[in-house]
């Protein structure tokens, strides 16, 4: 289920070099945050089964009626650095439910990095503002949210059969880390 790049809202914005480095980082962002600040803390916002929404159907081409969705803020020393939303279609989850039930105790990082069952197959970076639904996903948890914000959306293949997705919205503070 490829990412539909045609639906990405076209904004004119320049990404700073520090934020661009985070967007293009191929390894775990969590590990990088821990290396730079000495800690990385996941604040779980929500984790639940939901009906597949319009954004997931159109942007991610998800055909399943249900998705497992997890929202977090990644923090260090009380500062939020990014918002992340994991989206796992039911058909993907059902391939090996025990694997995904690990999310009850673990970070998505443990499921996608150094895991032979999961492979990143697609990734796109783009910018958002108040005209984009992704902005409001974050604003619900961080009311005073500036714009523009940069997004990294990645598609992962599970067992070479189904896809899961990870969307990360970089908050301005990430640009202060080198």
> Would you state the pLDDT for residue 114?
83
> Would you state the pLDDT for residue 178?
72
- Alpha-helical regions (H) of the chain: 17-23, 29-37, 54-59, 90-93, 97-101, 108-112, 133-139
> Would you state the pLDDT for residue 177?
86
> Would you state the pLDDT for residue 9?
56
Q: What is the pLDDT of residues 105-136, one digit of tens each?
A: 999 999 999 899 999 999 999 999 998 999 99
Q: Which residues contact 100 (CB under 8 A, 6 or more apart)?
A: 68, 88, 93, 111
The sign of the CA dihedral 17, 20, 24, 25 is positive
DSSP string, 86-137: EEEEHHHHTT-HHHHHGGGTS-HHHHHSS-TTEEEEEEEEEEE-TTSHHHHH
> Would you state the pLDDT for residue 109?
92
Could you tell me the domains of the chain? 5-176 (3.40.1410.10)
> Would you state the pLDDT for residue 157?
97
> Would you state the pLDDT for residue 10?
63
Give the whole-angstrom CA distance, residue 115 versus residue 17: 29
CA distances from 37 to 32, 65, 79 (A): 9, 40, 10
Ranges of residues in the chain whose predicted pLDDT is under 50: none
């Amino acid at each position: 289920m490829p990412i539909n790049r045609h639906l990405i809202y076209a904004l004119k914005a320049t990404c700073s070099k520090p934020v661009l480095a985070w967007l293009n980082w191929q390894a775990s962002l969590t590990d990088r945050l821990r290396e730079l600040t000495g800690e990385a803390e996941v604040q779980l916002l929500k984790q639940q089964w939901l009906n597949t929404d319009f954004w997931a159907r159109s942007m991610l081409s998800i055909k399943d009626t249900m998705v497992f969705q997890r929202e977090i803020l990644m923090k260090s020393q009380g500062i939020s650095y990014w918002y992340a939303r994991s989206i796992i279609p039911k058909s993907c989850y059902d391939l090996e439910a025990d694997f995904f039930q690990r999310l009850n105790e673990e970070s998505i990082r443990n499921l996608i990095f150094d895991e032979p069952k999961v492979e990143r197959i697609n990734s796109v970076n783009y910018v958002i503002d108040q005209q984009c639904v992704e902005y409001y996903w974050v604003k619900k948890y961080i009311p005073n949210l500036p714009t523009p914000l940069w997004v990294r959306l990645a598609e992962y293949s599970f067992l070479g059969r189904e896809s899961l997705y990870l969307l990360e919205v970089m908050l301005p503070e990430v640009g202060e880390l080198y």
